[in-house]
Structure 1
């Protein structure tokens, strides 16, 4: 048996709370309703945490877990299963312990008379505002199964795009890490061996060799510690700055201006996310002003978020969305024109979906193109640096052999 903390209201609406021991939240809820109470909330009392529970808390809840949950939930609702029955089945069949616990809490809340959207809203770290508002619109329109399918499609599209970008950047990142490790090893361990050997010979070292030996000496001295500490402190400071509102804005603008097509990829990602989010919300029946708000919050780029504030003001005044977007450089003319056509024809969600599809394909192609350029550049760069170090180490030997021959 577990101990549960409950909050209830009596027939006069007076709130009260207490504790009860039972096998499940459902048992506590049934007992309280039998006594004439309206259940507000039931949560399990936290006691000593077992290793298994600690591991379950540490385990990350990935986007695909929420996607699978949404798909299965939609299928069950569409098949005619009652909401509580569907949640009960999902709670018992979900493999992820953390998600199973959350579903159990959702079921308990719904049993207590809370709407599904309000129950989801209690878990902001798992169910985003976009998710909650789409479910709320689905409840109001009686199309919960359709809305859950749309949510799952939205999550799948976002997750697929992220995975494409990540997988494409893995190889260049591995090359960069490998290069740093190789160069560090050569500077810290290989060059000192050659430096000692040449010092014993007492010969004059070439300029390139002296530079490499001096760099190695600095890296292995107390000054090297200060240099590494300064670099680490600088990186930490940038990370902290990036978490401030001003830092986020500066960083988002820098990202959009990055060379080698990186800035263009980031802009296309922002367009894909903006279009997909807004189209899904509008198609689900979320009020347009609320949809614009949520799109701004979940845009992932402060430039797009600021643009959404202008769009909201424009719509409030009865003007079209496309008007303020045309004044923001991050939105290409094609996007603005397609949204304008959508507004004229009353098919904004359809146009936004087409924009999202287009930019998701563009991101995929651009990422592949970037990696095909980056890989040879990085290989040449790494090979060049290692080659310079190797040549600097063997130059004294070549000079010595030249003297002997003469």
Structure 2
């Protein structure tokens, strides 16, 4: 809401100078008219205190991606039903369960009522509405296809959410298995093994090599567990501090791409996201160069981000999109073929969307293969370590039984 300073005369003839809050100048005049005040002058003085607080905190407010996706879907439905934008925003703000998001939508509505475009109203909240969202809304407002554009944005957010959910679900089991394996082995070496081995040491009998190795490892962990823990924490903290440097972060991301399993997976995720974003922007009427630059905003890997920016620069200098993307070495041949076909036939947006779907399937296949290899290897490794511990304990017992016999 906005604040208005006014000068008027009350019904009793008293001169009055004050301020009030209202959605718009027309709304302010209506409020004063209902109060029986004759206006002599009125002017806006800015946003209300609550609106100012929301705007100042706009860069800090975080809204779940599924809430933004649902908002896009609802707004598209209401606009396609010929409901005015301010009325649609008002309806959605009342229905949303996220309190902070409801306040943001109320502020956006007030700005639209004041005469700003919807894209301008969204620009105060960059953490909620990213550059792609604002660009699509701008394109939709200019072409009169805002409802259709918002539908595409909702589809895009839902696809991203599904892929993210699948990746998270796929990684939960191996991560939990790894943590449990490490925890079990550490407990065995630090708490269980020393109590058992102590019985053999008192016998002053020559122990097998495996038992001596086990005693050495157990003793080392018991003595140096604190320095090891502090050292591991120090390495993690140092790595985080080092990655704050753009140069070091670029080196680290380049190194990730060279890892056998992680590299192809990172390429597949980022190339699919880039292609899907570019296809939506292209089919919504955004110029190709602008679409290519905006599409790089969703790329998490710094090295790949720079390659795609260079591709946009090559297109600006006259290179075809196919050749520019081929030089990045981030796309499989089939995906490049579909991009070339779309560029020649004028159906770039449609074919890039299909290419992104194929790349998502390829990414999921590679992730499934990686997990199918990793899980058995982890189980075999853990079983081998436990077997070594058990054999190291059983060998002295068998030797003792032989001596007694």
TM-score range, shorter chain: 0.7 to 0.9
Q: Which residue of 1 aligns with 2:388?
A: 388
8 Å Cα contact 2:73/2:151 also seen in 1: yes
Shift of residue 359, structure 1, vs aligned partner: 0.7
Aligned-residue offset at 1:71: 0.4
Give the structure 1 partner of residue 111 of structure 2: 109
Distance 1:168 1:113, change over 3 A: same
Whether contact under 8 Å (1:7, 1:40) holds in the other structure is yes
Contact 2:311–2:328, Cα closer than 8 Å, also in 1: no
Shift of 1:389: 1.6
Match of 1:31 in 2: 28
Report if aligned partners of 2:108, 2:118 keep a CA contact under 8 Å in 1. Answer: yes
Q: CA deviation at 1:321?
A: 1.6
Q: Does 1:275 align with 2:275?
A: yes
Residue in structure 2 matching 1:132, options 125, 131, 134: 134
More divergent stretch after superposition (329-338 vs 92-101) = 329-338
Give the greater-gyration-radius structure (CA). 2
Aligned to 2:339: 339
Q: 1:374 to 1:110 in 2, by over 3 A?
A: same
Contact 1:117–1:133 (CA<8 Å) still a contact in 2? yes
C-alpha contact (below 8 Å) 2:60/2:127 kept by paired residues: no
Query: What are the Cα deviations for residues 218-252 of structure 1, in whole angstroms up to 9, with x where unaligned?
Result: 2222x331122112211222233233322332232
Count matched residues.
380
The unaligned stretches of length 5 or more in structure 1 are 11-18, 48-56
Do 2:24 and 2:114's aligned partners in 1 also have CA atoms closer than 8 Å? no
Q: Deviation string for 1:316-343 (max 9, x for gaps)? A: 2233122222222223333333222222
| Distance change >3 Å, CA 29–CA 362, structure 1 → 2 | farther
- Correspondences of 1:5-404 after superposition (within 5 Å): 26=23, 30-31=27-28, 36-38=42-44, 41-44=47-50, 61-221=63-223, 223-259=224-260, 261-404=261-404
Q: 1:98 to 1:384 in 2, by over 3 A?
A: farther
What displacement does 1:58 show? Answer: 11
Cα 1:245–1:27, aligned 2, differ >3 Å: closer, same or farther?
same
Q: CA deviation at 1:355?
A: 0.7
Equivalent pair of 2:257/2:263 in contact (CA under 8 Å): yes
2:56 corresponds to: none
With structure 1 as the length reference, what TM-score do the two structures score?
0.85
| TM-score between the two structures when normalised by the length of structure 2 | 0.85
RMSD value, Cα = 2.8
Report the Cα offset of residue 46 of structure 1: 8.9
Distance 1:27 1:140 in 2: 24
Contact 2:181 2:382 survives alignment (8 Å): yes
Q: CA offset at residue 188 of structure 1?
A: 1.8
3-state SS of the aligned residue for 2:202? helix
The unaligned stretches of length 5 or more in structure 2 are: 7-17, 33-40, 54-58
193 and 181 in structure 1: CA distance in 2 versus 1, 3 angstrom threshold = same
Gap change, CA 1:153 and 1:109, over 3 Å in 2 = same
